């Protein structure tokens, strides 16, 4: 991307797009020299007061494309609870809020993040911070905000759905419907993603949004600098091939995607037993652990992040060199989001997908979607098999550790249940006296 910009004689500055001085300087401070393609196309449309559907490849600066026009509008008419940004995962919510704060620090913008299961916290955050911008994951959000004194969703002037296709899917559909009903129709709406679905058209048809479509790549494609390949393996040997590749590409930062929380945990334990600095990230971890894992990976304290699709969308960790799909994604669109965690903002990157005899159809669907044949990643069979003994031993220990963890959980639950019974009993006794 940067190369393309360098040779583009019509390259415009942020000021040329109509961005005000103070925000253009903020971009400069972030070392954003020129706007990216999606920013060039979408910012003028947004500044002219239109709704926007923005479609551009992963890592191409979509966050800035919606954040800058919102900050500019906020600057012109300052107001609390000015914009609501919906995003599918907690990690992404924090990342977007950081980007708003980085771009808006000189104008004193206040952001609040509200993510699943925060209940009473919501009110505390809202009252304490009185934010201009709320970045939130859907899930009882309307109830939380409507029950918070002094705040009403009716004041929201800008609504963003980041990863719009995911936000508009079934899991969140009813929440989005509620939000669209409560927030006035005069609001501006920005829908952004690297992939889009028919759900977006449904919103248009229902006249809930009237967007200008800004599409800077005419088919779903990840950046050209990304080398993608696949490795064909008998399903029972997956683990050993993973270790082989991690050894072969040692010195890089990896994101390894698995389809289940349990496998994510198991692989992390297995790799740790083999001396790799690996850390898991999945939806069954506590909020604090999820953020902790991400921060350790971001700060390069750990070189391998093993994750479920909770990390496949939007996360911007520029130093990720390699994405490994240990389990092939069942939805081919998830493939695009996963591999898009590397080769961001014009950098190069590698993606290797493990394909077993059971995955051939899924893998062909991916090739069809990206309109590209994935070349075979060559491995030295003999070298792989030499690792077998060590990997088998690490697997055995990982299995024991997983079982121990289950036992501990069971014991804790039994203890908690006992405690509960005790309390109920004592309450009963108190009642009688
Ligand atoms: N104009 C710019 N010049 C240089 N870097 C930029 C520019 N705009 C954004 N970036 C950087 O590019 C990276 C990717 O941006 P961003 O996370 O917004 O991508 P995205 O298009 O939302 O990706 P995804 O589809 O994966 O969510 C970030 O590190 C951001 O700071």
Please report the atom of ligand 1 found closest to the CA of residue 33.
3
398 in Cβ contact with 306 (< 8 Å): no
CA–centroid distance, 92 to ligand 1, in Å, is 13
Most informative mutation of 30, 43, 61 for ligand 1 (most atoms within 8 A of CB): 61
Instruction: Find where tokens 């304290």 sit.
Output: 301
Rg (CA), the chain: 24
Q: Is the CB of 39 under 6 A from ligand 1?
A: yes
Are 164 and 287 found together in one domain? no
Give mean pLDDT, residues 52-59: 90
User: Residue 198 has what pLDDT?
Assistant: 75
Same domain, 106 and 175: yes
Please work out whether the CB of residue 64 comes within 6 Å of at least one atom of ligand 1. Answer: yes
State the residue range of the domain holding 333: 226-400
Query: Closest ligand 1 atom to the C-alpha of 314?
Result: 27
Confidence of residue 420 (pLDDT cuts 50, 70, 90): low
Residue nearest to atom 25 of ligand 1 (CA): 58
Q: Whose CA is nearest to atom 15 of ligand 1?
A: 61
What is the distance in A from the centroid of ligand 1 to the CA of 323?
18
Q: Where does 339-395 show beta strands of DSSP type E? A: 349-355
Number of domains in the chain: 2
Instruction: Give start and end residues of each alpha helix (H) in 77-184.
Output: 90-104, 120-129, 141-146, 164-167, 170-182
Question: What is the C-alpha to C-alpha distance for residues 422 and 427, in angstroms, rounded to an integer?
Answer: 8
Is the same domain home to 42 and 125? yes
Give CA–CA dist 75/53, Å, rounded.
23
Residue with CA nearest ligand 1 atom 2: 32
- Centre of ligand 1 to C-alpha 96, Å, is 11
* CATH number for the domain harbouring residue 364: 3.40.50.300
Give residue 276's pLDDT.
96
In this structure, are 207 and 232 located in the same domain? no
The mean pLDDT of 216-229, rounded to a whole number, is 67
Same domain, 271 and 123: no
Residues 248 and 348 in one domain: yes
Number of Cβ atoms within 10 Å of the Cβ of 379: 15
Residues sharing a CB contact under 8 Å with residue 398, sequence separation 6 or more, in sequence order: 266, 269, 270, 273
pLDDT in tens, 57-111: 888 999 999 999 999 999 999 999 999 999 999 999 999 999 999 999 999 999 9
**How far, rounded to the nearest angstrom, does the alpha carbon of residue 331 sit from its chain's CA centroid?**
16
Q: What are phi and psi of 87, to 5 degrees?
A: -150, 150
For ligand 1, the distance from its centroid to the CA atom of residue 61, given in whole angstroms, is 3
Phi, psi dihedrals of residue 305, rounded to the nearest 5°: -105, 120
pTM: 0.86
Residue at a domain's end among 172, 191, 215 = 215
Q: Are 332 and 369 within 8 A, CB to CB?
A: yes
Ligand 1 near 60 CB (within 6 A): yes
Say how far apart CA 83 and CA 135 lie, in whole Å.
8
- Distance, CA of 73 to CA of 88 (rounded, Å): 25
Q: Is 83 inside a domain boundary? A: yes
To test ligand 1's pocket by mutation, which of 25, 64, 215 has the most ligand atoms within 8 angstroms of CB? Answer: 64
pLDDT at 175 over 90: no
Does 153 lie in the same domain as 41?
yes
Instruction: List pLDDT tens digits, range 320-375.
Output: 999 999 999 988 889 999 998 988 887 889 999 999 989 989 999 999 888 888 99
Which DSSP string do the residues of 179-248 spell out, in sequence order? HHHHS-TTSEEEEEESS--HHHHHHHHTTS--EEEEESSSS----TTEEEEEEE--GGGHHHHHHHHHHH
For residues 344 and 415, what is the distance between their CA atoms, to the nearest angstrom? 48
Distance CA 278, CA 135 (A): 29
Cα of 101 vs centre of ligand 1, distance in Å, is 15
Are 263 and 384 within one domain?
yes
Question: Tell me, what's the ipTM?
Answer: 0.99
Provide φ and ψ at 352, rounded to 5°.
-125, 130
Contact of 384 with 238, CB cutoff 8 Å: no
Is 333 among the domain residues? yes
pLDDT for position 223: 53
Same domain flag for 211 and 257 = no
Would you say residue 411 lies in a domain? Answer: no
Other C-beta atoms lying within 10 Å of the C-beta of residue 385? 12
Q: What is the number of alpha carbons within 13 Å of residue 115 lying toward its C-beta?
A: 18
Asked whether residue 158 falls in the same domain as residue 298, the answer is no
Side-chain half-sphere CA neighbours of 364 within 13 A: 5
Among 181, 215, 249, the domain-final residue is 215
Cβ(195) – ligand 1 distance below 6 Å: no
Phi then psi for 27, rounded to 5 degrees? -65, -45
Q: Ligand 1: distance of its center to the CA of 279 in Å?
A: 25
Query: Predicted confidence band at 8 (pLDDT cuts at 50, 70, 90)?
Result: very low
% residues pLDDT > 90 (the chain)? 55
- Give the count of alpha carbons within 13 A of 20, CB side only: 15
Provide the angle, in degrees to the nearest 10, between the axes of the packed helices 388-432 and 261-273.
120
Residue 130 lies in a domain: yes
What is the model's pLDDT at position 170?
Answer: 73
Q: Is 340 touching ligand 1 by the criterion CB < 6 Å? A: yes
Q: What's the rounded Cα separation, in Å, for the pair 46 and 49? A: 5
Whether residue 4 is predicted with pLDDT greater than 50 in this model: the reply is: no
Residue 120 pLDDT exceeds 80? no
Identify which of 5, 39, 59, 87 to mutate to test ligand 1's pocket (most ligand atoms within 8 A of the CB): 59
Of all protein residues, the one whose alpha carbon is nearest to atom 14 of ligand 1 is 59
- Write down which residue in 187, 215, 243 finishes a domain: 215
The rounded Å distance from CA 344 to ligand 1 centre is: 7
CB 259 within 8 A of CB 327: yes
Look up residue 169 and give its two tokens: 């899917």
- Asked if residue 432 belongs to a domain, the reply is no
Span from the CA of 59 to the centroid of ligand 1 (angstroms): 5
Same domain, 147 and 260: no
Q: What does the buried/exposed string (b/e) look like for 98-131 if buried means 16 or more CB atoms within 10 Å of the residue's CB?
A: ebbeebbeebebebbbbbbebeeebbebbeeeeb
Q: Is residue 428, in this structure, part of any structural domain at all?
A: no
Q: What is the DSSP letter of 260?
A: S
pLDDT tens figures, 288-324? 899 999 999 999 999 999 999 999 888 999 999 999 9
Give the pLDDT mean for 143-160. 85
Q: Ligand 1 centroid to 63 CA: how many Å? A: 6
CB of residue 318 inside a 6 A radius of ligand 1: yes
Ligand 1 centroid from CA 193, angstroms: 12
Structure confidence at residue 207 (pLDDT): 67
Tell me if 96 is assigned to some domain.
yes
Residues 182 and 231 placed together within one structural domain of the fold: no
Q: Is 344 in the pocket of ligand 1 (CB under 6 A)?
A: yes
- Ligand 1 in reach of 312 Cβ (< 6 A): no
Is residue 54 a contact partner of residue 189, using CB atoms and an 8 Å limit? no
Alpha-carbon torsion 186, 313, 265, 367, what sign? positive
With a 6 Å cutoff on the Cβ, whether 316 touches ligand 1 is yes
Strand ranges across the sheet with 254-257: 226-232, 349-355, 322-325, 254-257, 304-307, 278-281
Position in ligand 1 atom list of the atom nearest CA 58: 25
Average pLDDT over residues 16-45: 96
The answer to whether position 220 is within a domain reads: no
Q: Is 61 in the pocket of ligand 1 (CB under 6 A)?
A: yes
């Amino acid at each position: 991307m940067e190369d393309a910009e360098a040779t583009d004689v019509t390259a415009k500055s942020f000021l040329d797009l109509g961005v005000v001085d103070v925000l253009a300087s903020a971009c400069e401070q972030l070392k954003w020299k020129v706007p990216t393609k999606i920013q060039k196309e979408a910012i003028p449309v947004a500044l002219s007061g239109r709704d926007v559907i923005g479609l551009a490849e992963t890592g191409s600066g979509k966050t800035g494309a919606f954040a800058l026009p919102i900050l500019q509008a906020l600057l012109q008419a300052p107001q609390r609870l000015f914009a609501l940004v919906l995003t599918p995962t907690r990690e992404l919510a924090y990342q977007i809020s950081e980007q708003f704060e980085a771009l808006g620090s000189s104008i004193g913008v206040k952001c609040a993040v509200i993510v699943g299961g925060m209940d009473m916290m919501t009110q505390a955050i809202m009252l304490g911070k009185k934010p201009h911008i709320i970045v939130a994951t859907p899930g009882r959000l309307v109830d939380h905000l409507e029950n918070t004194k002094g705040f009403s969703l009716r004041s929201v002037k800008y609504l963003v759905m980041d990863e719009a296709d995911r936000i508009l899917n079934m899991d969140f559909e009813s929440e989005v419907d509620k939000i669209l009903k409560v927030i006035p129709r005069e609001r501006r709406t920005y829908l952004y993603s690297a992939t889009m679905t028919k759900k977006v058209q449904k919103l248009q048809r229902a006249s809930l949004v009237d967007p200008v479509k800004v599409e800077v790549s005419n088919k779903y494609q990840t950046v050209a600098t990304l080398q993608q390949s696949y490795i064909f393996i008998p399903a029972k040997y997956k683990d050993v091939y993973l270790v082989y590749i991690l050894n072969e590409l040692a010195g890089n930062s990896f994101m390894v995607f698995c389809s289940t929380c349990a496998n994510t945990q198991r692989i992390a334990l297995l790799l740790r037993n083999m001396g790799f600095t690996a850390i898991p990230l999945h939806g069954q971890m506590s909020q604090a652990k999820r953020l902790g894992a991400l921060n350790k990976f971001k700060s390069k304290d750990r070189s391998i992040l093993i994750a479920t699709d909770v990390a496949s969308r939007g996360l911007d960790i520029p130093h990720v060199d390699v994405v490994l799909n240990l389990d092939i994604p069942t939805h081919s669109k998830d493939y695009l989001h996963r591999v898009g965690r590397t080769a961001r903002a014009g950098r190069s990157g590698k993606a290797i997908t493990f394909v077993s005899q059971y995955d051939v159809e899924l893998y062909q669907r991916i090739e069809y979607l990206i309109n590209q044949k994935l070349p075979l990643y060559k491995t030295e069979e003999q070298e792989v098999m030499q690792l077998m003994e060590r990997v088998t031993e690490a697997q055995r220990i990982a299995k024991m550790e997983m079982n121990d963890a289950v036992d501990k959980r069971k014991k804790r639950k039994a203890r908690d249940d006992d405690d509960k019974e005790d309390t109920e009993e004592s309450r009963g006794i108190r009642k009688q006296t």
